[in-house]
Amino acid sequence: MNRKITVNDRSYDWPAQPVVVVCIDGSEPAYIEAAVADGVMPFTAKMLAQGADLRANCVVPSFTNPNNLSIVTGQPPAIHGISGNYFLDPDSGEEVMMNDPKFLRAPTIFKAFQEEGAKIAIITAKDKLRRLLGHGLTLGAEGATCFSSEKSDQATESENGISGVVEMVGMPVPDVYSAELSEFVFAAGVKLMARDRPDLMYLSTTDYVQHKHAPGTPGANAFYAMMDGYWAQLDAMGCVLSLTADHGMNAKHGSDGAPSVIYLQDLLDDWLGRSAARVVLPITDPYVVHHGALGSFATVYLPDSADAAALIEKLSAVEGIEYVAGNAEACARFELPQDRIGDLVVVSTRQVVLGTNESGHDLSGLEVPLRSHGGVSEQTVPLMVNRPVQGITERTLRNFDAFDVALNHTLEVRSAAQ
């Protein structure tokens, strides 16, 4: 039997055993490298020796929503439409969150598999992603399960395909700013795998820990040790594990600990007049405490009178700016939907972030020096599989190859027990 499911111009083999894809939010490769070297990820150390330890490029802007949707559709934002966490909706002229499924332009891999009878389970840390990831699925007893840690106590059969999550997991509902919010995802995933044995499972964490703690520090290592224990349990249940990240994470501050920010709106106000240009930061979301809405990618809407070429040249000369281009060139390079990106795209360097007005960012919630993402400098992410893989040596992997690698390129391994 060799069933294939085709969705968004890619085809996937039917899984012989459950496939679990994990999106570790903000997992710069150095986190796992350091935790393995420090001996706190014993399962992962063994898995990387016996399976596949690869690197992949994420989508730029290296933010959460565009990358999660790329992973679950197998395509870049030019196809699925989710260009940021936040964007300027050309239909309404309003800046809005990109959490609504109405912005999604492609079906998910889950939907295509469910239509052929697969059982699907999706668990996310924050509720903001839930409706996008679960879009188009039939939920309920005979259907899929899709819920968040954040609102796990409110999960219902009709909305989430499951109720009694908190009782099932045996953990209290975690605070939205906590490592436990991600732990709950894995604890629930292990319980659901044991109970329902879904064909495809997707687990997506939050980068609360990575925004606060550098690779190899005690706070980071404790988090990765926690994940290692749950991955070992899923592996022991016979699952194929495909682990990747939505984006990396870098320190974005000077030696004094103050964030290194280019306030783009202030700069453009100086050059063009107040509010003549409009800077949109697609990192913006309702949970900005740990990054103050500062990331390394911005898009700019210009007034008709502006000389875009001259501005590109002027911005390119600003120290800390790595890349500036017009809409068409930037959308071609980063595979973004042109109608959801402004006239310019601006990307800052590894240790620099982009803001709007200096007065517009509330940095009071930053308890530790800023760590953030969004740029090309956070594009390299892990792609690790608990099986040897074949047939992918000639290509540049993307994080949105995670399902392809797990379903089409893993070699079966016989466990010692068989």
Nearer to Zn ion, 221 or 399 (CB): 399
CB 88 within 8 A of CB 278: yes
Closest CA to 208 of 149, 258, 153, 260: 149
- C-alpha dihedral over 328, 333, 337, 343, to 10 degrees? -40
To the nearest whole angstrom, how small is the minimum distance from the Cβ of residue 28 to Zn ion?
Answer: 11
Query: What is the nearest approach in angstroms of Zn ion to the Cβ of residue 26?
Result: 5
Residue closest to Zn ion (Cβ)? 64
Please say which residue, 283 or 324, places its beta carbon nearer to Zn ion: 283
With respect to Zn ion, which residue has the nearer C-beta, 97 or 237?
A: 97
Bridge partners of 253, per DSSP, are 259
**Contact positions toward Zn ion, by CB under 5 A?**
25, 64, 207, 246
Smallest distance from Zn ion to CB 70, Å = 12
Q: Which is nearer to Zn ion, 315 or 366 (CB)?
A: 366
Residues constituting the chain: 418
Amino acid of residue 291: H
SS3 95: strand
Q: What's the closest the beta carbon of residue 25 comes to Zn ion, in angstroms?
A: 4
CB of 358 to Zn ion, least distance (A): 25
Q: Rounded to an integer, what distance in angstroms lies between the CA atom of residue 391 and that of residue 63?
A: 29
Nearer to Zn ion, 25 or 180 (CB): 25
CA distance 317 to 404: 41
Angle at which helices 180-196 and 218-236 cross, to 10°: 0
Q: Return d(Cα 301, Cα 356) in angstroms, integer.
A: 12
Cβ-based nearer residue to Zn ion, 199 or 207: 207
Give the nearer residue to Zn ion in terms of CB position, either 285 or 343.
285
Contact residues for 20 (Cβ-Cβ < 8 A; gap 6+): 189, 193, 201, 202, 203, 234, 239, 240, 241, 242
- If the CB atoms of residues 245 and 345 are measured against Zn ion, the closer one turns out to be 245
Q: Closest separation between CB of residue 249 and Zn ion, Å?
A: 8
Residues 24, 132: Cα–Cα separation, whole Å: 17
Residue number with CB closer to Zn ion (246 or 266): 246
Give the Cβ contact number of residue 359 at 10 Å: 10
Nearer of residues 278 and 350 to Zn ion, judged by Cβ: 350
Token digits of residue 70: 């790329």
The bridge status of strand 380-385 relative to strand 240-244 is antiparallel
Q: Please tell me what DSSP assigns to residue 348.
A: E
DSSP at 379: -
Q: Where are the beta strands (DSSP E) in 142-264?
A: 145-148, 200-204, 240-244, 250-251, 261-263
**With respect to Zn ion, which residue has the nearer C-beta, 251 or 318?**
251
Shortest CB 143 distance to Zn ion, Å: 28
The token pair at 103 is 């912005």
Q: In this structure, which amino acid lies at residue 266?
A: D
Whether a cis peptide bond, with omega within 30° of 0, leads into 218 is no
- Kindly state the smallest distance separating residue 277's Cβ from Zn ion, in Å: 27
**Which tokens go with 349?**
């360097």
